[in-house]
Structure 1
Amino acid sequence: MLKKLLFFLVSLLSINANCQYYKLSNQAKVSLITCGSGNELYSIYGHTAIRFLDSENNLDIVYNYGNFDFATENFYLKFVKGDLQYFVAACSFNDFMQEYVETNRNVFEQQLILSTDQKQKLFEQMNSSMFSDERYYTYKFIDKNCTTMVLDKINAIYGSNIVNKKTNTLVSYRTILYSYLNNHFWENFGINIIFGAKVDF
């Protein structure tokens, strides 16, 4: 097991180090990856990542802001309260997909319309984040998560907010959360207690 872990870490570092010096070709594609719900509390609400596919450079890599240390003390409590440390990591697209294939979860891909310069800029920013203080962030259940982190990066590249938070809506956060927790009574109960009234807006 230790050998497998060391091999994984060495491979990951190799991927990240090499990517810092890549110049994407004109044929490179950048996609938003959206993953369906899982069975665990941390995966019930799905997942989001960014994929860079550049066949000319033999590159197919996914950047993922949904990484954490499951051994963290009081993991689920910190997860819901917004005290858990998450970080961005990179892996090959095939490795990323393995979990979703094994658990039979849906994965959707939307190609982003970006210029060559915008793709390169986003690629460099993602790699820079891997080796800076930006790699880690404090997870906030609603306001700062794997989806909002990706959205912030994309908005920065476009120079405007392609998705804006709606303040005037009849649908509350609680209503949205409920739709994912139909078969999770105790999780639903705990989330309601911890969040209180703040998810009613």
Structure 2
Amino acid sequence: MKMFQRQAIASKLLSRNPKNSKTINPFKFTNLIWTFDLNNAQEFIDCRLKKYRPNSKICSGLEHLLKYLTIYFSSTNQINIDNYIINIYSSVTLENGPIIRATDNFYGKAWYSNIAVAMNPEELLEYLTDKGICYGQIYLLIKVETAKENVDNLTLIQWYDFKSTKNQYHYGCSRLKLMELYNIVNVEAIKIIFI
């Protein structure tokens, strides 16, 4: 009797209407800073740049945003980007619990998380990696809402590189320096956060 009840419950659950189902998002974006339309992005960015110190990381992130979003969209074959909405956040909670931040004011101090990014196996030979991992610093946390109700969880990062090709490690730790190289990366590629 119990077996038939379980089967009836299971078949009822499986036959439910999918419109009531909810997609679980493994990333929780918090502390929305700005929302703007991609069509008016340059005007919006120019207006915001006037309000920040020129040497702040958020200012640098805004200066590089459109260039690297264009590269990202062309590499993912997203051609019609007319109705895209860009949301910039100051923090994201990853699916395994850690929080990454990109803000000039976290309890009065700037906090831009240092991260490890798992590289695409097809691109490993193009980069000098630490066992398939590259390091970067978060500059912007971006959620892109497309016209088709799709969402891209992205981050603009500045890459680290080894300080020396001869002595890459010191007591087992990578010796790194920030490079003038930026990219848009999917939040899903972030594996580790360093303080």
The structure richer in helix per residue is: 1
Q: Which structure: greater strand fraction? A: 2
TM-score by length of 2: 0.23
Larger of the two Rg values belongs to structure: 2
TM-score, length of structure 1 as denominator length: 0.23
